[in-house]
Amino acid sequence: MKNFLSVKDAGNVEELAQKAIAIKKDRFANNNLGAQKTMVLIFLNSSLRTRLSTQKAALNLGMNTIILNLGQDSWNMEYENGAIMNGDKAEHIKEGAAVIGEYADIIGIRCFPSLVDREKDYSEYILSKFLENVKVPVVNMESATVHPLQSLTDLMTIREYSKKEKPKVVLSWAPHIKPLPQCVANSFAEWMNKADVEFVITHPEGYELNEKFSGDATIIYDQDEAFSHADFIYAKNWSSYNDYGNITGEHADWMITNRKMQLTNDARFMHCLPTRRNIEVADEVLDSAASIVIQQAANREFAAQAVLKEILDFL
């Protein structure tokens, strides 16, 4: 694997999820593979799970890691070609990314969307600027449109907890207090569309995802109907794609509750975290035996390790 930017780099998604499950059984089996190699993890946005799990995965493989909070620990970066740099941005991406690449064998990048300029966000403007200016492999740690390390984790977790070969997996929009990116939902949708599952998306009207990501998924606007016979409920908020970056209407009644979980086939509850308790999902669900959000977060380490191993094998 050269880069890990989206599902397109994953090959067979089910096989990669199985590799992550195998790594979980012996995480130190390849603890020399990354010896004398360095991963630089660049964060333009906050993170708990991605930061810790990706660093842990690299350490399990014997790599060194450096974390850079871009713009906080370093200079503010200018991305525009031809910019006259007379503002607060002291370093251009052309030098900045190229220099980081000199110290790194693998680079990880987190760069959220603006939620203002849809065309720019969906062109993966920031991620592509890094790709243009580094020669080493790049791992997407959540970009403007996708979060593939999360999606690989999600598939791995579904395989671990599924009681059947082809479970019914429901991605449910859930309320939030502010507009969030579509990345996790986009990414989950494109991975589920490649996995051997029955995939349903449910959301209020106005929250349709870009069809490039929702693909052939069944879309049901009635949340109760969508939950019927579900084996997994995956809750996530996202802002509107069509009315880009905005929240449309009041939908507090879309919060995941025990009443809704009881409509399912004894489904497991999943969420990428962080989640707003009693806004997106009720305490009674998060604190129930149905919830596997902590196990899911723990699996981030093994999913990241499966990806880093594939890249190290390529180097």
Does residue 142 touch ligand CP according to CB under 6 A? yes
Reading the block at residue 190, the tokens are 């494109």
When the beta carbons of 50 and 214 are compared against ligand CP, the nearer one is: 50
Does residue 47 touch ligand CP according to CB under 6 A? yes
Does residue 275 touch ligand CP according to CB under 6 A? no
When the beta carbons of 50 and 223 are compared against ligand CP, the nearer one is: 50
Reading the block at residue 172, the tokens are 């449910």
Closest listed residue to residue 60, CA positions, set 34, 42, 41, 36:
34
Contact 16, 45 (CB under 8 A): no
Shortest reach from residue 45's CB to ligand CP, in Å: 8
Does residue 50 touch ligand CP according to CB under 6 A? yes
Does residue 48 touch ligand CP according to CB under 6 A? yes
Shortest reach from residue 101's CB to ligand CP, in Å: 23
Residue 145's SS3 state is: coil
Shortest reach from residue 279's CB to ligand CP, in Å: 17
When the beta carbons of 188 and 213 are compared against ligand CP, the nearer one is: 188
When the beta carbons of 59 and 78 are compared against ligand CP, the nearer one is: 59
When the beta carbons of 49 and 309 are compared against ligand CP, the nearer one is: 49
Which three-class secondary structure string do you get for 245-311? CCCCCCCHHHCECHHHHCCCCCCEEECCCCCCECCCECHHHHCCCCECHHHHHHCHHHHHHHHHHHH
Does residue 49 touch ligand CP according to CB under 6 A? yes
Q: What are the φ and ψ backbone dihedral angles of 77, each rounded to 5 degrees?
A: -100, 135
Q: For ligand CP, which stretch binds (CB under 6 A), given 47-55, 59-67, 111-119, 172-180?
A: 47-55
**Strand bridging mode 168-173 / 64-69:** unpaired
Q: For ligand CP, which stretch binds (CB under 6 A), given 42-50, 113-121, 234-242, 243-251?
A: 42-50
Out of 3, 60, 143, 150, point to the residue binding ligand CP (CB under 6 A): 150
Q: For ligand CP, which stretch binds (CB under 6 A), given 8-16, 46-54, 161-169, 204-212?
A: 46-54
Distance (Å, rounded) from C-alpha 92 to C-alpha 107?
18
DSSP class of residue 4 equals B
H-helix or E-strand spanning residue 69:
strand 64-69
Out of 272, 285, 292, 306, point to the residue binding ligand CP (CB under 6 A): 272
Does residue 21 touch ligand CP according to CB under 6 A? no
**Positions of E strands within 134-215:** 138-140, 168-173, 198-202
When the beta carbons of 6 and 50 are compared against ligand CP, the nearer one is: 50
**Total residues in contact with ligand CP, by rule CB under 6 A:** 8
Contact 295, 153 (CB under 8 A): no
Shortest reach from residue 141's CB to ligand CP, in Å: 8
Distance (Å, rounded) from C-alpha 230 to C-alpha 235?
13
Does residue 273 touch ligand CP according to CB under 6 A? yes
Residue nearest to ligand CP (CB): 50
Distance (Å, rounded) from C-alpha 51 to C-alpha 43?
8
Indicate the angle between helix axes 300-314 and 13-25, nearest 10 degrees: 110
When the beta carbons of 100 and 293 are compared against ligand CP, the nearer one is: 293
Per CB under 6 A, residues contacting ligand CP are 47-50, 142, 150, 272-273
